[in-house]
């Protein structure tokens, strides 16, 4: 169960990171509200998962999922350039996250 919560918290990290960028310095109310809710839920989930999953592993998985989804979403929406190298690097990041789960 802790791993599921950790993955969902990583997804919420991507949500709050994207909302933070769209809040334009907290001047836009809806992205700011999404940021606030997502960051709280993401942190609560991360802290809950850390009761079972070691801190270093939990943090690396949380950041890896959040980073991969954030940049993947940005590339999918055209906010960031897409290249073979970028896609391969994101896949490498995802592979490392999966590897951390497998060796846990």
Where residue 100 falls among pLDDT bands split at 50, 70, 90?
confident
Instruction: Collapse the DSSP code of 17 into the 3-class scheme (helix H, G, I; strand E, B; otherwise coil) and give the result.
Output: helix
Cα separation, 100 vs 104, whole angstroms: 6
The pLDDT mean for the chain works out to 95
- % of the chain surpassing 70 pLDDT: 100
Q: DSSP character for 104?
A: -
Please state the pTM of the whole predicted model. 0.90
């Amino acid at each position: 169960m802790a791993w599921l919560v950790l993955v969902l918290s990583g997804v919420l990290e991507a949500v709050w990171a994207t909302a933070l960028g769209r809040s334009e310095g907290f001047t836009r109310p809806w992205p700011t509200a999404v940021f606030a809710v997502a960051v709280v839920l993401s942190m609560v989930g991360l802290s809950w998962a850390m009761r079972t999953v070691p801190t270093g592993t939990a943090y690396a998985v949380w950041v890896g999922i959040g980073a991969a989804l954030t940049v993947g979403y940005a590339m999918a929406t055209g906010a960031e350039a897409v290249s073979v190298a970028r896609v391969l690097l994101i896949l490498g990041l995802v592979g490392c996250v999966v590897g951390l789960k497998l060796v846990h």
